Amino acid sequence: MAKVTARKETGKLVIDFTYRGVRCREQTALDDTPANRKRVQGVVDQLLKSQRLGTFRYADYFPQSAMVTRFEIPSTTGNEANGQLQKIDEPIASGPTFRDFANQWFDERSIEWRRSHIKSLLSTLNGRLIPYFGDKVVSRISKSDVLEFRATLAKVKGRGEKAGLSPKRINEIIGLLRQILNEAADRFEFNSPADKIKKLKQPKTDVDPFSLVDVQRILHTVRADYKNYFTVRFFTGMRTGEVHGLKWKYVDFDLRIIRVRETYVLGEDDYTKTEGSQRDIQMSHPVWDALKSQYEATYKVSDYVFCNLMGQPIDNKNFTDRVWYPLLRHLDLKERRPYQMRHTAATLWLASGEAPEWIARQLGHTSTEMLFRVYSRYVPNLTRQDGSAMERLLASKLSTGPLIASDQQPGVYLPMQEATARQPTPKPRGPGAQGALAGRGGDAQPPPDTLSANATRWQLSA
């Protein structure tokens, strides 16, 4: 309970309330008038509300009070407020600190998020936002405070030799701050200072898929224990966490389906990125064969399809540093993130003429909008049946033999043909016809089938 009274000796208004079982009476600098009583009552209402929410801090409301030392260590917020209730007509001087409200907001919302998302937000909250805004009363944070904070993010040391965080990362941090301040503004009735701050422009990141020639070179060069892994990634479009979290119970060889139900992120199994990411992926023949081969290698070792010697999922950093980038450098291919294997699958499907709706389902997209927006320049005339075009493309283009460089076209690699198809011997057509080939000797051979020869040349032009 709390009430507003007046001290007889001074005629000043007093806030009379109970905190932690102790009766507290704090005198204001305001005279006892109806207008001032209304102002003080507003503070009392906020005080009671913060007590109910568990965010009340004595120093936020009465920083100069002797009771502060009894209940807590005084905060810097008290110096900002100067402890003068004669300024009580400024509503921004009341409410919880950013630290208290942000932690409360996080606790209330965390039930909605994946574990990996919780870890990511906690890192941003404790590493960026609370160190900067923690002791400020949440309702006193201004637009200039937010802009100043954003400017500091552009100057902090980023990854590697970068002088600041990327626009994308800065937008993510300010986005989290905006959510917290918007919720606080709604609860404590003030205007959110971050609501109208525009996002920084982010440079457009184009997809950089591999050509089918590049894919073939990679599959023929990669170490044997990773060939199945690469095959699945290149021809299913699965995300990194989805492949690393794939378990044998989700692989159906009879129906030729991979059920995407979990992901492996930050060292833990977790729910997929979105609801739409829960999907069934059709296996092409190369994927089916790769998983059958992998079954013999890891089924008795681990629940995970792709695992290390200890039966644990593949560590992404270890994979990129020790397998992925060294392989690209060895093949003299442009360095790019492993995620480009997903983009490669999408572009191969599009280039082979698969229906965009089918491709979207394979990738876990809820619509074709993103498909066309990201991969539009790879879209040909789409006329074939779902899955069949890709099957024909892989069956006709992929070779199990070694690759050789073309003498006529630098940069083009061709699979060495294991056998050359022969044309049937033409029937004699009149006198002398039998001797048409006789002059070449007994070992004369008919010319090779030009269609078969052309079929060995494979290069996908985007």
Residue extents of the structural domains in the chain? 2-94, 99-188, 212-395
User: Which pLDDT value is given to residue 283?
Assistant: 95
Write down the CATH superfamily of domain 212-395. Intergrase catalytic core (1.10.443.10)
User: Which pLDDT value is given to residue 457?
Assistant: 35
- Whether residue 280 contacts residue 258, with contact meaning beta carbons closer than 8 Å, is answered with yes
For 69-106, the DSSP string reads HHHSPPPHHHHHHTT-GGGTT-GGG-S-BHHHHHHHHH
User: Which pLDDT value is given to residue 353?
Assistant: 83
H/E element, 151: helix 143-153
φ, ψ of residue 361 to 5 degrees: the values are -65, -40
What pTM value is reported for the model? 0.56
Closest CA to 28 of 18, 231, 17: 17
User: What amino acid occupies position 316?
Assistant: N
User: Which pLDDT value is given to residue 427?
Assistant: 53
Residues in Cβ contact with 199 at an 8 Å cutoff, skipping those fewer than 6 apart: 171, 174, 175
User: Which pLDDT value is given to residue 274?
Assistant: 73
Alpha-carbon 278 to chain mean position:
15
User: Which pLDDT value is given to residue 155?
Assistant: 83
State how far the Cα of 26 lies from the Cα of 33, in Å rounded to an integer. 17
Q: Which 8-state DSSP code applies to residue 326? A: H
Which of the residues in the chain have pLDDT under 50?
74-93, 381-384, 418-423, 431-462
- Whether residue 253 contacts residue 274, with contact meaning beta carbons closer than 8 Å, is answered with no
Alpha-carbon 312 to chain mean position:
22
Angle separating helix axes 167-188 and 115-124, nearest 10 degrees: 90
Q: How far apart are the first and last CA of the chain?
A: 73
- Whether residue 38 contacts residue 25, with contact meaning beta carbons closer than 8 Å, is answered with no
Instruction: List the alpha helices (DSSP H) in 154-206.
Output: 167-188
User: What amino acid occupies position 392?
Assistant: R
State how far the Cα of 434 lies from the Cα of 134, in Å rounded to an integer. 98
Cross-strand pairs, 280: 259
User: What amino acid occupies position 355?
Assistant: A
The SS3 call for residue 167 is helix
Copy the structure tokens of residue 280. 């069934």
With tokens 């982010």, the residue in question is: 202
348-375: b or e for each residue (b if 16 or more CB lie within 10 Å)? bbbbbbbbbebbbbbbbbeeeeebeebb
The SS3 call for residue 162 is coil
Q: Classify domain 99-188 by CATH architecture.
A: Orthogonal Bundle (1.10)
- Whether residue 17 contacts residue 1, with contact meaning beta carbons closer than 8 Å, is answered with yes
Copy the structure tokens of residue 455. 């079929």
For 408-459, the DSSP string reads SSTT-EEEPPS----PPPPPP-STTSGGGTGGG-TT--PPP-HHHHHHT---
